[in-house]
Amino acid sequence: MQLRLDQLAAHLQKAAGALKPIYTLYGDEPLLVQEGGDTVRQAARAAGYTERQVHTVTGAYFDWSSLLGAASEMSLFGDKQFIEIRIPSGKPGKDGSQALQQYCEAAQGNDGVITLVTLPRLDKTQQGSAWFTALDGIGMTLRCDPIERQQLPLWIAQRLAAQGQQVEPGEAGQRTLAFFADRVEGNLLAAHQEIVKLGLLHPPGTLTIEQIEEAVVDVARFNVFKLSEAVLSGQIERTLRMIDGLEAEGEAAVLVHWALAEDILALHRARAALDGGKPLPMVLREQRVWGPRERLFERILPRTRGPALARLVASASTVDGIVKGLRHPQWPEDPWEALRRLALQLAKVASA
């Protein structure tokens, strides 16, 4: 049964005397996985599950029989058991799939064991697998996704409120939260640490922009896929900040160019297909555009024309040569400066 992470504490409090036999946390946000796991552990201890075992599945030769045996053994001291199963790869394999299904069957009638399963981000195939379906069917599954940039200010405000602090009301407070979010984007663990630091530096109450500017370190981390969203959204300042961050983190200029060029070529092909009479939904399927990118393409394509996109394709071709060491008289020699110009061109077309 699926449960939102923000519903976990209320569920555990309500089910204190009858916890689910298995809780499964999956996702690629370490802070949220850790906090969710800590919440389950605390509830299990409070309910008397004091004997803890941890089994980490590494490699193809994990002894699944030891896990099945551990769950069926009685505690030497008569304590209830709390068993953790950690699968860092998210792929238990054929033997693991069968073992997990057997484990779920055994857990149904065993109220002396609570199990916490932690997994990385899972694709649709993994979520539809027999072993994951078994985990979901007998217990609670919680997805721990990263906090997106547009959600980050609210997340920060909620965390500050939990320690008795808040920003100034109105527009001033919104600017403060936006500044904070820019400093910690893509690095939720560091964001949490910066919030805790504010709680240590200042008493409960209202925080000013000056206090936050002085205390919060720039710990933002970026990836090329988020850069694509920023550029296609026409967010010029954020686009430049992300390219600066990617350069500082040592990302390959070739990879950044690939991300920008993929969007440019997809837009160009899609516009040509639309001009040829194909409907937009069919065009997006053919170009394999989905998710947040699909919504951006739906906004951009109707008001963008072929010649503008053709000029972008030519620019992308030029920058392809620059990042590989070829000079062009009308473009900067530095690959990152060329990438900034290309990203700005795309952002301006996207926001036209």
Residue type, 320: D
Least confident range of 71-75, 246-250, 258-262, 339-343: 71-75
Q: Is the per-residue pLDDT at 203 higher than 70?
A: yes
9 and 135 co-located in one domain: yes
The answer to whether residues 243 and 340 belong to one domain is yes
Task: Say whether both 193 and 258 belong to one domain.
Answer: no
Q: Predicted confidence band at 74 (pLDDT cuts at 50, 70, 90)?
A: low
In 10 A of CB 241, how many CB atoms?
17
Q: Which of 158, 189, 215 is the last residue of a domain?
A: 215
What domain range includes position 264?
Answer: 224-351
Give pLDDT, residue 28.
87
Assign residue 69 the CATH number of its domain.
Answer: 3.40.50.300
Note if the pTM is more than 0.75. no
- The larger pLDDT score, comparing residue 66 to residue 133, is at 133
Q: How many helices (H) and strands (E) does the chain have?
A: 17, 7
Question: Are both 315 and 285 inside the same structural domain?
Answer: yes
Q: What is the pLDDT of residue 59?
A: 72
Q: Are 128 and 203 part of one and the same domain?
A: no
Q: What is the DSSP string of 277-310?
A: T--HHHHHHHTT--THHHHHHHHHGGG--HHHHH
**246 and 189 within one domain:** no
Instruction: Using pLDDT thresholds of 50, 70 and 90, give the confidence band for residue 66.
Output: confident
Per-residue model confidence (pLDDT) at position 3 = 87
User: Span 61-85, mean pLDDT?
Assistant: 76
Tell the burial category of 347 from Cβ atoms under 10 Å away from its Cβ (0-12, 13-18, 19+). buried
Phi first, then psi, for residue 149 (nearest 5°) are: -60, -40
State phi, psi for 3 to the nearest 5 degrees. -140, 135
d(CA 25, CA 34): 9
CB 44 within 8 A of CB 23: no
Average pLDDT for the chain: 90
DSSP string, 135-192: HHHHSEEEE-PPPPGGGHHHHHHHHHHHTTEEE-SHHHHHHHHHHHHHHHTT-HHHHH
Per-residue model confidence (pLDDT) at position 17 = 63
In this prediction, residue 143 carries a pLDDT of: 93
- Reply yes or no on whether the pLDDT at 78 is more than 60: no
Task: Return the bridge partners of 142, or none.
Answer: 25
pLDDT confidence of 16, banded at 50, 70, 90?
A: low
Give the model's pLDDT for residue 161: 96
| 136/12 same-domain check | yes
Backbone angles phi, psi at 113, to 5 degrees: -135, 130
Q: Tell me if residue 47 falls in helix, strand or coil.
A: coil
Please say whether the beta carbons of 180 and 216 come within 8 A: yes
Q: What is the model's pLDDT at position 167? A: 95
Largest CA distance in the chain: 79
DSSP string, 77-121: T---EEEEEE-TTS--HHHHHHHHHHHHHHHHT-TTEEEEEEE--
Q: Which of 171, 197, 215 is the last residue of a domain?
A: 215
Q: Identify whether residues 104 and 180 lie together within a single domain.
A: no
CA distance 306 to 73: 69
Number of domains in the chain: 3
Do 57 and 160 share a structural domain? no
Which is more confidently placed, 201 or 69? 201
- How open is the CA angle 268-269-271, to the nearest 5 degrees? 65
Same domain, 61 and 184: no
Structure tokens at 91: 């792929």
In the sheet that holds 113-119, the strands lie side by side as: 51-56, 81-86, 113-119, 22-26, 140-143
Percentage of the chain beyond pLDDT 90 is 64
Q: What per-residue confidence (pLDDT) applies to 77?
A: 52
> What is the model's pLDDT at position 206?
95
Q: How confident is the model at residue 98 (pLDDT cuts 50, 70, 90)?
A: very high
* In a shared domain, residues 232 and 291: yes
**Residue where one domain finishes, among candidates 143, 159, 179:** 143
| pLDDT tens per residue, range 131-185 | 999 999 999 999 998 898 899 999 999 999 999 999 999 999 999 999 999 989 9
Query: Higher model confidence: residue 70 or residue 299?
Result: 299
Give me the CATH number covering residue 158. Answer: 1.10.8.60
What is the reported pLDDT for 73? 65
Residues 88 and 156 occupy one common structural domain: no
**Domain with 306 in it: what CATH number?**
1.20.272.10
Rounded Cα distance, 188 and 181, in Å: 10
pLDDT in tens, 283-329: 998 888 887 788 899 999 998 999 999 999 999 999 999 999 999 99
